[in-house]
Amino acid sequence: MQANMMHNWLPLNFKLQKLRAKLLNDPYYRLQSGEEIQIAAQLGIRIDANQATVDDWLRLPGLSIHQARSLVELSRSGVKFYCIEDIAAALSLPVQRLKPLEPLLNFIYYDNESLVHTTHLVNPNTATVEMLAQTPFIDLSLAQAVVENRLADGFYRNLADFQQRLQLSAEAIAQLMYFLRF
């Protein structure tokens, strides 16, 4: 009986490990279920509802390209999302339908002045080498190191994780932190 339990546990563990690798290494992986949402949330994957791209929204199960574009357009026009109920209202959907997505969403307020400065932010978890190389204070060799490290070890959790994994100085991070978003 115990051998049978171990046999059943191993494929599940492998399946979870495979999913974990997908979530950490593929910024375009579209979540398929509530279970995957919970695992993604446990891994620290979050979407800032007020800065999300169409690709970010499309990671969430049940959202169409039209809904994703609508949310991005609203956000760019100055509409602020403060909670899941705001997203539901913007899409004319019942809030209960979107409630399972809530663990992945961050609702951060940005004033108009900070929005002006965030238009040039680059996400090192999704940016290409070329995009990173166009970012101030990132040369081609650092851009390549960012992408190689991301592919080898998964998404950067935050600025501190980024600094540690790339062994960047405090001075370098002090300059870069204004141009990166995680």
pLDDT tens track of the chain, all 182 residues?
444 444 444 455 777 788 888 877 887 889 998 888 988 888 778 899 999 999 999 999 999 999 999 999 998 888 899 999 999 999 999 999 999 999 999 998 765 554 444 447 899 999 988 889 888 889 889 999 999 999 999 999 888 899 999 999 988 888 888 889 88
Q: Tell me the pTM.
A: 0.55
Residue partners of 126: CB distance under 8 A and separation at least 6: 27, 55
d(CA 126, CA 159): 15
Does residue 72 sit in the same domain as residue 36? yes
Query: Six-digit token pair at 90?
Result: 């913007």
Does residue 141 sit in the same domain as residue 100? no
CB 31 within 8 A of CB 37: yes
Residue partners of 175: CB distance under 8 A and separation at least 6: 136, 137
Does residue 7 sit in the same domain as residue 90? yes
Which of the listed residues 80, 111, 142 is the one where a domain comes to its end?
A: 111
For residue 93, being part of any structural domain is answered with yes
- Give the pLDDT confidence score for residue 3 in this predicted structure: 42
Does residue 157 sit in the same domain as residue 85? no
Domain that includes residue 133, residue range: 121-176
3-state SS, residue 161: helix
Does residue 30 sit in the same domain as residue 49? yes
- Total number of domains constituting the chain: 2
Q: How far is CA 48 from CA 1, 42, 97, 150, 171, in A?
A: 47, 16, 19, 20, 27
For residue 181, being part of any structural domain is answered with no
Does residue 142 sit in the same domain as residue 105? no
DSSP 79: -
Does residue 23 sit in the same domain as residue 80? yes
